[in-house]
Amino acid sequence: MLQYLVSVLLKDDADVLRLLEDLGPVKAAERVAFDFLTQQLHELSNGIELVKKMVKKYSLGGDFTNDAPPEDESLSAMPMGKFLLCAESLITSLNNEFDGAKNSFAAVLEFFGEDSSITPEAFFYTINTVLSKFDQSYKALKLKEEAIVGI
């Protein structure tokens, strides 16, 4: 059936056959593990909070148990404080981008009518399998055409 679909596309709309080129990044998306990324972002955030407490305790003379963050002005005057402010900004940006990626993935699942509980790995594995079969069908059809033309 897939070979028939490819043959129809070849006749009617050959541009659709560039599907593999257009969806090239999907192969890499199969290896993205949202759970692992969530865990890594959480660990980074926890590490920065620990650094903030240590900077406050040892550089600013603050109480280690007090959760109030040190003032940004005080932090920007110290090398470790500058690192901390930069790292916090980057982690916030990473969290925002990751939230955007999760929202985009949820929209893709909705577009394809998939269950929202499916993992990115499972979803993109399925897409990659279909693309691979599509490519195999296209190549087989091209070989048949070349064999017929060569006769």
Domain residue ranges in the chain: 31-115
What's the pLDDT score for residue 64?
Answer: 43
* Residues 95, 126: Cα–Cα separation, whole Å: 27
Structure tokens at 8: 């129809």
| Model pLDDT for residues 18-65, shown as the tens digit of each residue | 777 888 788 888 888 888 999 999 999 999 999 888 887 777 565 444
The angle subtended at Cα 27 by Cα 25 and Cα 30, nearest 5°, is 115
Q: What is the pTM of this model?
A: 0.70
62: Cβ contacts below 8 Å, ≥ 6 apart: 56, 70
Top-confidence residue, 148 or 86: 86
Give SS3 for 131.
helix
| Model pLDDT for residues 62-95, shown as the tens digit of each residue | 544 455 555 666 777 778 888 888 999 999 999 9
Alpha helices in the chain (DSSP H): 2-12, 19-22, 26-29, 34-58, 72-76, 79-112, 120-150
What's the pLDDT score for residue 92?
Answer: 94
